[in-house]
Structure 1
């Protein structure tokens, strides 16, 4: 419903908005822009088109923050102006914003224009959108031409063949523009434009675009041609790839700029797949090795992400003979990011190597990485050992790596200890109860007293997960007695952890264990000297209430034991304890059905 004030004075919303936009306070002006949709709804579509949009069109000289907000809002304004039929009214203000000097404003305006372009009819594209594109393309100032490069793809497929021919020619001009910034945008947008081209124009148009940009004298342009190289190659036949694009691939792979080589390395597996029929295996292996040995650490880092995929393409025998010697060098690479990336991806080789070769070639690398000086390297190798376990089995893995894992369980970096905790259930499932009890139970309990809360919290979840693996009877005889022993520990953190651990493990144990062991332990802490312990007892009981109410065997304990304990806490001298106790009491007395 329209605001009465608005009906009395039709200019009221515009006047208010004008005042706020001219206010010295930037935050107030931004708030006005964020209310455009509300104002448009009050005005209605016709007045929005006739009054609000022209007003915004005149506001193109404001601060960049304001212009950015306008560009963003107008992209979602189609419904406010009356739907797609009237959406062309938004093109002019957005076209002006696509011409400003600030890059982020232009990019947002182009994004909004593309969004609007998707709802325009072919007739609207030809009558309004294409003229805007031509105006930007032919403008003297380079910012306009840069914006134009981002508008071709959305319109091309839905205009007539004559306009398509003009657009192909115009895009080619942008690829040769005298301003590097325009050529950069043309390179960055080339893939999306190529996807709209008809197959018969790929050789005629797309390949020349690419070849022109791939030899640009600016490395900031050349590095953006790697993605289009993949896109164009995927759309051509293998013979066409070999004839028109192979030379460019070879040149980019050895480009003098490390940033270009970085982009090639990042897409190396994709590029190898499309180039493979025309490039000898020895050549692509040599390229790959050159990236592994590149003088720039950034290139060596990114090529590590390609190791599993590329080695799968090449095959195990060639990997062991020609690539593995260079992989071994990455373990001791002087750059820590390289070792970290290698640790992340090297385990992906295990399925290719299979059991025997993984044990012989990969495990020595893992052991060295587990002893790396940087915690991130150790963390990355630990968190991906499940891939290795799937290949060689936990018994062999534990024999080789368990000592290193035990050492890392006490690592000074808490994130490393956390990764070990998260890996424990997998170990447990494969090792079996006897081996686990002998080797790892003490370790799991020690984490409950860790100085870092996140570790103690993870340790309680770990105990529940172990109970799910080994069963409630195992928990009853093995870990619950150890947890209960912490309830009388002199350090209050251990007593606090007791509450968390018992509360977490409840869903995985039997009603008998809850009645005989868990509830008495929690109730014993009702009179603890530390207020934090007491209010966590109340929070624990509140969390357990649904379990108690749901089970017929446990339900009688609520009035007999739980309510009296909470009643005691509601009279506690500490305000926080009383608050949580009252909330818990309300929960247990008024269960949700």
Structure 2
């Protein structure tokens, strides 16, 4: 039987253990290199292994910042010396580092290393250096462009060259065409023939690649496109048998609109686009999705070229895009996911379609609404999510006609998909205000729409409380801050205030409870009836401030922090101040700690002669913290705040001006005036949060 010492010996003599120590010794540098980064990195490039050399490359930008002269004269030459015989990984990392340096126009001659790198026999290395070369073309000078890059592009664009080389030459042509050193004539002479040749390439990937660069070439040519053959090449690409080439031609057409005349649009581009649309209806390919993605820009670019029948034709085509793949549509493709993407892109472009219809064929509003109804009720949540995300834009564009959208808005509010709500909720407040602006909702009267939308909001709130997405619930309650702008205060008080109070007192997630009390304070602020305001104040004190739950009492402190942001000091001192001071003697130390963190704000309110009684109460609290406090964290925080109070100064004029504005607004609300609610930013009240202690 082996003894314990024997086992220890076996562990010590395990194979590989000595090798590990040897590696540690190998990677340990002499101490005299510690404070000499240039010497250290030269040594690593000379004697280090691949990992150490890679670390030098990655540290190159920092070395240039700290010691540029030595880095240029010693480190970079050493890197260039190591490159020819280095590993693939070293070359790839170096190419990316050089790209970053050259894009910032670092004064070092790295250009020839890039040119050498693209000739590597290793495909991965050559492609990495080619990406670097394409990226740095904009910062090259005229000599480099004409002496090195143009001959290289001519070479790489030949049919005998590898496929990746020809694709790279397409990308380089686009960069060259918009280079500041070349004028339109030079682009026409040097770039255009190569581009036309690549448009005729036998491989569809090359034709697709050059198609994406046509807008850059057109930009470089200016109006030369009208007397050149590039437009004819684009027409040919739009008729290509390959769907990827046709799809790329759609995007190219959209991007050349700014450089074309009205006549070119009418005679050439419009027929080409209609041809592409017809092919998209007959073929199950990517072109339909690309057209759906670009349809808004297409119609915006062509709208002055279209007749009424052509406008109707495009509206009908858009309707088919928005229902692609549904029911027994002959436009249905074999790939359901591509159909969904097509409908989703159609939903993205619904706001531009509204502008198009209103401007050109306003009699077709009903047809447009039927398209919207289909998108809002699409069986796939992705499409509904997209249309929900632009609901506020749609209502704004529909203007006075937005009343017809009410039932669809309610349906989206009650959607089963959380993704749809995630898209709808961030703009919910804006949407409700727009509905009020266009008289679907009213701040003065409870109409049927108010009841229907109110029920939908309450149902949505109930559904969210049963789920675990506290971020969405918090955002939803945040949007409720706009309700006083959209609905009568009696309706809000009757239906929404009790829900918020329950959420604040019994909610699960703290952020949700904090947002609930902030929204509750907004409701209190803009409620015009004293009886209802008193009900809110009394119930928040009873259910929050006097709660047996420590966490719930913390929520009341959050409520007071929100009230400081929203109410005038006069109102706060009358209804919140003393209840907050009561928590200064709370049995839980963290509650007292939160009050300590607020004493600066509490102190600055007591500046009027009539504050004498509150001042005495406040000083009593300070004395209690000074004499009787036992908790070390509370004592430490109090001492810190006491020092701050002695040196803290405020701009009294600005402070008085702001307080007067708040008091005047409160007086107007109390007198029955309707005041618009601004969606106030959430203040950082982290200083009032629970401090975890070890």
Q: TM-score, normalised by structure 1?
A: 0.82
Is the 2:58–2:97 Cα contact (8 Å) retained in structure 1? no
Match of 1:288 in 2: 318
Pairing partner for 1:101 from 100, 124, 129: 124
Work out which of the two has the higher radius of gyration on C-alpha atoms and give 1 or 2.
2
Map 1:32-181; keep pairs closer than 5 Å.
32-38=59-65, 41-43=68-70, 61-63=88-90, 66-67=93-94, 69-81=96-108, 89-96=109-116, 101=124, 105=128, 109-110=132-133, 112-117=135-140, 120=141, 122-138=142-158, 140-156=161-177, 158-159=181-182, 161=185, 164-181=188-205
Q: Is the 8 A contact 2:563 2:572 kept in 1?
A: no
Q: What is aligned with 1:454?
A: 511
Matched residue, 1:497: 555
Range 149-158 or range 474-483, more displaced:
474-483
Corresponding residue number in structure 1 for 2:569? 511
Check conservation: 1:499, 1:540, Cα contact below 8 A: no
Structure 1 residue 464, shift from structure 2 partner: 4.7
* 1:379 and 1:419 in contact (8 A); partners too: no
Match of 1:563 in 2: 622
Between 454-463 and 11-20, the greater mean CA deviation after superposition: 11-20
Of the structure 1 ranges 547-556 and 263-272, higher mean CA displacement relative to structure 2 is found in 547-556
Query: Does the 8 Å contact 1:425/1:469 carry over to 2?
Result: no
Paired residues of 2:497 and 2:523 also in contact (CA < 8 A): no
Deviations 1:219-275 (A, max 9, x none): 334323322111223322222123222333123334234432122111112112333
Alpha-carbon offset, residue 113 of structure 1: 0.9
Please give the per-residue CA displacement for 1:126-167, whole angstroms capped at 9, x wherever unaligned.
334434544544582333333332233443353363564121
| Residue in structure 1 matched with residue 380 of structure 2 by the alignment | 335
| TM alignment of 1:181-580, pairs within 5 A | 181-202=205-226, 204-253=228-277, 254-255=279-280, 256-276=283-303, 277-278=305-306, 280-295=310-325, 296-315=339-358, 317-355=362-400, 357-359=401-403, 361-382=404-425, 383=428, 384-395=431-442, 396=447, 397-412=449-464, 413=467, 414-449=470-505, 450-466=507-523, 469=526, 477=534, 479-485=536-542, 486-541=544-599, 544=601, 547-548=604-605, 560-561=619-620, 563-567=622-626, 571-572=630-631, 576-580=633-637
| Residue 188 (structure 1) shift | 2.8
Superposed CA deviations along residues 423-467 of structure 1, whole A, max 9, x for unmatched, are: 323221243444433333223323323212221232243245446
Moved more, 561-570 or 224-233: 561-570
Counterpart-to-counterpart distance in 2, 1:143 and 1:552: 83
Q: 1:591 aligns with which of 639, 648, 653?
A: 648
Q: Is the 8 A contact 2:243 2:285 kept in 1?
A: no
Q: Give the 3-state SS of the residue equivalent to 1:423 in structure 2.
A: helix
How far does residue 587 in structure 1 lie from its aligned partner after superposition?
A: 3.1
Alpha-carbon distance in structure 1 between the residues aligned to 2:496 and 2:524? 14
Distance in 1 (alpha carbons) for counterparts of 2:529 and 2:638: 30
C-alpha distance in 1 between matches for 2:117 and 2:593:
57
* Matches of 1:552 and 1:96, distance apart in 2: 83
Report the TM-score, using the length of structure 2 for normalisation. 0.72
Q: Say whether the 8 Å CA contact 1:307–1:346 is kept in structure 2.
A: no
Deviates more, 1:446-455 or 1:462-471: 462-471
State the secondary structure of the residue aligned to 2:51. coil
User: What are the ranges of 5 or more consecutive residues in structure 1 without an aligned counterpart?
Assistant: 82-88
Distance in 1, matches of 2:176 and 2:508, equals 60
Q: Secondary structure at the match of 2:324?
A: coil
Q: State the distance in 2 between where 1:565 and 1:172 align.
A: 87
Given that 1:48 and 1:80 are in contact with CA atoms closer than 8 Å, whether structure 2 keeps it comes out as no
Of the structure 1 ranges 223-232 and 548-557, higher mean CA displacement relative to structure 2 is found in 548-557
C-alpha spacing 1:53/1:559, structure 2 compared with 1 (3 Å) = farther
Deviation of 1:25 after TM superposition, in Å, equals 5.7
For the residue of structure 1 that corresponds to 2:161, the secondary structure is coil
Contact 1:211 1:248 in 2 (8 A): yes
Kindly tell me: are residues 368 and 514 of structure 1, through their superposed partners in 2, closer, same or farther at Cα, counting changes over 3 Å?
closer
Provide the rounded CA distance (Å) in 1 between the counterparts of 2:296 and 2:274.
14
What is the RMSD computed on CA atoms of the aligned residues?
3.9
C-alpha change, 1:354 and 1:39, in structure 2 (3 Å) is: closer
The count of residues paired between Structure 1 and Structure 2 equals 573
Cα distance in 1, alignment partners of residues 529 and 636 from structure 2: 34
Instruction: Provide Cα deviations, 1:17-38, integer angstroms capped at 9, x if missing partner.
Output: 5258743368735533443524
Question: Which 5+ residue runs of structure 2 have no aligned equivalent?
Answer: 1-31, 326-338, 651-694
Output the CA distance in 2 between the equivalents of 1:55 and 1:77. 23
Deviates more, 1:219-228 or 1:552-561: 552-561
Does the 8 Å CA contact 2:527/2:533 hold for their aligned counterparts? Answer: no
Residues 115 and 232 of structure 1, relative CA distance in 2, 3 Å threshold: closer
Deviations 1:369-406 (A, max 9, x none): 22221133245445233333322243254233111112
CA distance in 1, matches of 2:72, 2:52: 29
Decide which moves more: 107-116 or 399-408.
107-116
Higher mean Cα deviation, 416-425 or 13-22?
Answer: 13-22
The structure-2 alpha-carbon separation of the partners of 1:343 and 1:17, relative to structure 1 and needing over 3 Å to count, comes to: same
CA drift of 1:566 comes to 4.1
